[in-house]
Structure 1
């Protein structure tokens, strides 16, 4: 492990990230370019003290899970990510790892979907990005600990979402949900975050474990989802899936037919999001 070079790479990578690219507002004038250490820590799910020690070449060897979280938080491309791993004394990820970097063009599409909630999911159902309406409907995933930014985890174990997918949906839907995760693990057997998620779900949810042991696979498909919102109550929305095949990701867009209660709730959410943006 080359602590000095690792520290240099991390400091320079932090300075290159535009706060807008990771959804952080410019609430006060920044004295230096890029992200602050506390912002990197929040995005990566580690302590500020640990980030400081890494950048001062005083930290012990980071785990592969921490390196993965840091490379995502710092928006590293494949080359920079591989360098980060090697300087830390670890082998870089291969095709056995879930792609969790969202292409800038996909982010632009998401931001321009101003009429419907939309979010980007990884093959493991991690929420990688969301637009303002999705944050208003489901909660701000960027403000949650990284391990809680997973749709399947929230469904079976609960979480800090403002609106949650109805856990009482039919058995076929739940089995399909588990099948999607099993298929992801088959494609990415070396991914430590995915393995940890499956282990947590199997130990924490008897229902998930029973469905997992059936050995069925699945793939993400359009559904009508019941979302329970603390203010608006249960609401049925159509969730359509737009695939990003080269990254093994998808964009889920929520909508409702005109004249339905779902459409009325989406109108309210658009109003709330518009009011918040002008606050």
Structure 2
């Protein structure tokens, strides 16, 4: 436990908050910026003395439950919450459910890339946002937005060159999600359905595949423009456990011309489910 670093971090985050940020009245004029220690203690449901000792580098080793309460009281972002646990020498508790929202700056990124097909997937392989070129290239993303169900239940995978490999990639990500979000009911229902309906899914799950996102080349078969050889690159959004997949073609290639043709069929906005 890094007591001095923990104390400094707590003081810094407390002093950044205003009473209005946490739903408290401003009250009389404050001599120092931020919340008072007693206000943080009240929000975290711990004693003032306990919290004060943490900020004075002489506190006890806080439990994960107390750290969760303090993180909530200080309105810590996911990355800050993880940092708090590391300073306290504790393993972060699993979030109750995976993040299914798309941050505005990520949606904005999709809109600013009209010549690149881009989708955002959450930890369960649900496509939660996409741009027009992605829909023109990959087809309807609303009727069945979950790529795991499309791969194992419908046999509907857009790439003609990596159908077998895709199964292991999907299972590796779902296994990781199951470990991180054991209380997410929607994820649990998805896994139950996949286990019941797909022997291939069960077999892959049992061998525990491991996969790291990176650069891949695949061929997509499109009903209008035919085979399209594309590059797929993944940007990981660690704070939300999401991935942005960018699909591009080599400049001057027939695939690049096909993507330009498809780009004219969509509108200009990013979509989400």
Query: When the two structures are superposed, what TM-score results if normalisation uses the length of structure 2?
Result: 0.58
* TM superposition shift of 1:256: 0.9
Structure 2 residue corresponding to 1:243, chosen from 217, 236, 248 = 236
Structure 2 residue corresponding to 1:155, chosen from 151, 162, 166 = 151
3-state secondary structure, aligned to 2:229: strand
Residues 125 and 151, structure 1, Cα contact 8 Å, conserved in 2: yes
* Correspondences of 1:80-229 after superposition (within 5 Å): 95-141=95-141, 143-144=142-143, 148-158=144-154, 164-166=157-159, 169=162, 171-229=164-222
For CA contacts below 8 A with separation 6 or more, give which structure has more relative contact order.
2
Residues 160 and 220, structure 2, Cα contact 8 Å, conserved in 1: no
Residues 97 and 188, structure 1, Cα contact 8 Å, conserved in 2: yes
- Pairwise CA RMSD: 2.6
Pick closer, same or farther for the CA change 1:152–1:228 going to 2, 3 Å: farther
Q: How many residues align?
A: 177
Distance in 2 between residues matched to 1:272 and 1:257, nearest whole Å? 21
Between Structure 1 and Structure 2, the one with more helix by share is 1
Structure 1 stretches of 5 or more lacking a match? 1-77, 79-93
* TM superposition shift of 1:169: 2.3
3-state secondary structure, aligned to 1:210: helix
Distance in 2 between residues matched to 1:167 and 1:210, nearest whole Å? 22
Residue-by-residue CA offset, 1:229-258 (whole Å, 9 max, x unaligned): 222233221111112111111211100112
Query: When the two structures are superposed, what TM-score results if normalisation uses the length of structure 1?
Result: 0.57
3-state secondary structure, aligned to 2:231: strand
Distance in 1 between residues matched to 2:191 and 2:220, nearest whole Å? 23
Pick closer, same or farther for the CA change 1:113–1:262 going to 2, 3 Å: same
Residue-by-residue CA offset, 1:150-195 (whole Å, 9 max, x unaligned): 1222122227x7xx42366264443233111111111111111111
1:41 corresponding residue in structure 2: none
Structure 2 stretches of 5 or more lacking a match? 1-76, 78-93, 269-273
Residues 155 and 167, structure 1, Cα contact 8 Å, conserved in 2: no
